[in-house]
Amino acid sequence: MNRRTAIKQLFIVAGGLTILSSCLNDGGASIVLNKLKISAADEQFLGDLADILIPKTDTPGGKDLNLHLFVMKMVDDCESPENQQKFVGGFNKLRKQLNLTDSEATKTALLNLKDQTDEKAFFDIFKSRAIQGYMNSEYVMKNKVVYKLIPGPYNGAVNVKG
Amino acid sequence: MANLNIDSEKNRTYDAIVIGSGISGGWSAKELCEKGLKTLVLERGRDVQHIKDYPTTNMMPWEFEHRNEMPYKIKQENPIVSKCYAFHEDAAHFFVKDNEHPYIQEKPFDWIRGYQVGGKSLLWARQTQRWSDFDFEGPARDGFAVDWPIRYADLAPWYAYVEKFAGIAGDHDGLPELPDGEFLPGYPLNIVEKYFKEKVQQRYPERKVISARCAHLSKPNPIHIEQGRVQCQNRVLCQRGCPFGGYFSSNATTLPWAAKTGNMTLRPFSVVHSILYDEQKGRAVGVRVIDTNTKEEIDFYAKLIFVNAAAINTNLILLNSKSNRFPNGLGNDSGVLGKYVAFHNYSARIYAEYEGHLNYTVEGRNPAGGGYIPRFRNLHKQETDFLRGYAAGFGASRGKESDRSGLGLDLKNNLLNPKLGIWQVGSHMMGETIPKESGMVTLDGSKTDDWGIPLLKIAVDYDENDEKMKKDYIEVMTEMFTDAGFTNIRPDTHWQAPGLDIHEMGGVRMGHDPKTSVLNKWNQMHAVKNVFVTDGACMTSTSTQNPSLTYMAFSARSVDYAVSEMKKGNI
């Protein structure tokens, strides 16, 4: 096998970030997760949800940028066990309630999630992590809200239209 | 090491040994090497070579596995270092993890360490404010600790000497409480910081808001180019190590300079166990090292020993250097070794918003971080119910924000088109703490670390004076913020343990009297004339300024003295 192809198969680019892909073809998630149990179907659902959150336009959407994989990775590695539990618990409840093919209805449902519910707890984590992944994605940082490693001289009084 | 022959001993003999390669050790090394002394520099951690060993320095935000956030598991395993503001994916490799060198917190103390060549000079916040006589005369005037055996005039030429080489950006402000130095151009305050400065000046003429002075090459001189450094590029990613050498670190500055003389031998992976004292000769003769790779114990010898292990570890080494002559630690005739350890009170901050000057914003990043308010409390005379005072940082910024409440196209559009918000302002206090005998570090009687060296017990705490000062800071800043028209003023007085300021000082203090101090006015041990301590351990009091510049000046001054004494045959 061509080495380059092999490497391509090992890594998946999520918002510019390479994540080790899962080697197991067992109906599980496509990336290696240590704590979260996410099935391929769950992952598909999270991908669709990422697209509803940040839809594809003339610029890439949530699924194009693999924001759902980024969310899974961050929840797996960076959230507390309590938050992981909230994430999974809320997700399992919410996915039964949503029909993602009707994106308007889904949006209305998501915007009206009640505070202090498991569903809201899940969606808050999903949304904030997806936004984090989006704003820190290679695409956005190179093309839209540009990050400069070398920002140029400091100017402490730049005139702007108030 | 009885089985080692004389040749081997000769191979392990140098003119001078420097323990530690951080800010002060780098300076000791440079000065000793330049004066022609064959110098062994011992570093307990690994080597970090300038540029080559800064793996994250040019990484983009999306290239960090967790976008610079530390994973939960690492935070759980490292509750101490995780509290440090700079412990993120981009610099975590320069910090000591909690389990790598445990210690006993008799009272809560966050000991933040960098064990590698360059030490914490890679990680420091690069603020460089001189002390003045208001600081050196503090203990004598206010009746605490012991009188400093030096005054500003003793150190002033050495401040100038190190500033010229290190490269310090700053304005000439003409303040006796914060003397001017050999400055490269300062980084100007932004428009709201300037506005605050003017408002404060109108209402409280004795209070000054100036540009913070910092160790950045705003405009390098030939000496800096000669070091291989170029102008600071305002990246403000300093904690990763700077490929431009834009800020001062041992790695970019003093150590390569020392190496260039051909006189330096740098030995990483060398934990110092103790300093060897010869009772017949009445002097220190060398240093016992544990090689961290082989766990082998090796003795090195020299006529002159500079201890620059960083404040707490310098205390540890001296306490562990026991002999018949010094059963309680090297040079500890007074019994004060390990005592009078103090720090800076960083436990209050205040934030607010400002809705003026909305037709202005800032572009780029300011390496200096913004404004600095030198101590004004109790400056000329005692005027409050607490001793001493505080300096403060002050900064204003105006970021772009997006409404994140929606979903779908609205959200996407908002995220991609952030709007300028109002100004956010903030300040943090840097309070002087009073060194107390009870603020101490001691050796545990039974527990040892991986190298067989006793674990350190740290018992350092705030006191009532600190609480009063903190309250005053919040009151004063609230008044000044209110007067400037700032709104939504939010004091933040959440407690933080001593140590997290990373300004721990003392334990091996300087003083006139060998009965109450360990070091004389030359940072030389009263009782062991060929041992010098020029890191934070030497500090008699803490004042409010970020202390590293003063350690640099002490190091250069002490080497100058030590070498001239050697030439006279006095050491």
Q: What pLDDT does B523 receive? A: 99
- Rounded to the nearest angstrom, the minimum Cα separation between B51 and chain A is 16
A146 interface with B at CB cutoff 8 Å: no
pLDDT band at A9 (very low <50, low <70, confident <90, very high): very low
Do residue A154 and residue B364 have CB atoms under 8 angstroms apart? yes
Which residues neighbour B464 within 8 Å (Cβ) at sequence distance 6 or greater? none
pTM for this prediction:
0.95
* pLDDT, position B245: 98
Per residue, the 3-state secondary structure of B151-189, as one string, reads CHHHHHHHHHHHHHHHCEECCCCCECCECCCCEECCCCC
Q: Which residue in A78, A153, A161 is closest to B234 by CB distance?
A: A153
Averaged pLDDT in 10-residue chunks for chain B of 571 residues: 70 98 98 98 98 98 97 98 98 98 98 98 98 98 98 98 98 98 98 98 97 98 98 98 98 98 98 98 98 97 98 98 98 98 98 98 97 98 98 97 96 98 98 98 97 98 98 98 98 97 98 98 98 98 98 98 97 92
CB contact under 8 A, B412 and A55: yes
Residues of B whose CB is below 8 A from A61: 412
Q: How far apart are CA B462 and CA B348, in angstroms?
A: 13
Assign A7 a pLDDT band (cuts: 50, 70, 90): very low
- Please report the pLDDT score of residue A23 as a whole number: 54
Q: How far is A126 from chain B, CA to nearest CA, in Å?
A: 12
Determine the pLDDT at residue A103.
Answer: 86
* Cα separations in angstroms, B525 against B25, B38, B274, B307, B436: 17, 22, 15, 11, 21
- A138–B contact, CB cutoff 8 A: yes
Distance CA B440, CA B537 (A): 12
> B369-421 pLDDT, tens per residue?
999 999 999 999 999 999 999 999 999 999 999 999 999 999 999 999 999 99
Mean pLDDT of chain A: 88
pLDDT at position B5, please? 67
The residues in B 39-58 lying below 8 A from A, measured between CB atoms, are: 58
Residue among B371, B319, B333, B379 at smallest CA distance from B507:
B319
Q: What is the ipTM of this complex?
A: 0.93
Q: What is the pLDDT of residues A72-82, one digit of tens each?
A: 999 999 999 99
Contact between B72 and A73 (Cβ < 8 Å): no
Residue A159 contacts B, CB cutoff 8 Å: yes
Determine the Cα–Cα distance for residues A120 and A112; give it in Å rounded to an integer.
Answer: 9
Each residue of B252-298: pLDDT tens digit?
999 999 999 999 999 999 999 999 999 999 999 999 999 999 999 99
The pLDDT of residue A24 is 52
When comparing pLDDT for B485 and A17, which is higher? B485
Measured between CB atoms, which of A59, A133, A156 is closest to B188? A156
DSSP letter for B397, please.
E
Supply angle C-alpha B376, B379, B384, rounded to 5: 85
The helix/strand/coil state of B350 is strand
Instruction: Read off the tokens for A16.
Output: 């510019």
Task: For residue A44, give how far its alpha carbon lies from the nearest alpha carbon of chain B (Å).
Answer: 18
